[in-house]
């Protein structure tokens, strides 16, 4: 059984999903394998920080979100390879 993911891993996954295509709240939560309440909380926090934005009933990643995603990938690569 896989250990629980930390919040950083969840944020990275949500940003990765949204970098590929716009998604509804339900689709993000399902694909991220999150509990509904946790998913809503994460989306609200990301939106409040300007990392994602809601357009109609779909979410999209912002420029700031893309920048954070790149940093998280770099950190993950560093930790894995060093």
pLDDT, tens digit, 9 for 90 and up, residues 15-70: 999 999 999 999 999 999 999 999 999 999 999 999 999 999 999 999 999 999 99
CA distance 39 to 18: 14
How confident is residue 4, by pLDDT bands cut at 50, 70 and 90?
Answer: confident
Q: Which fold has domain 7-81?
A: Arc Repressor Mutant, subunit A (1.10.10)
| pLDDT on residue 82 | 72
Burial 13-51 (b: 16+ CB within 10 A, else e): bbbebbeeebbeeeebbeebebeeeebeebbeebeeeeb
pTM of the entire structure? 0.90
Q: Is the pLDDT of residue 1 over 60?
A: no
Domain ranges of the chain: 7-81
């Amino acid at each position: 059984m896989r250990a629980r993911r930390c919040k950083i891993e969840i944020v990275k996954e949500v940003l990765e999903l949204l970098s590929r295509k716009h998604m509804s709240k339900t689709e993000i939560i399902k694909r991220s394998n999150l509990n509904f309440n946790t998913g809503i909380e994460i989306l609200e926090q990301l939106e409040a920080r300007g990392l994602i934005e809601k357009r109609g009933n779909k979410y999209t990643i912002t420029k700031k979100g893309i920048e954070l995603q790149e940093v998280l990938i770099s950190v993950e690569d560093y930790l894995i390879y060093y």
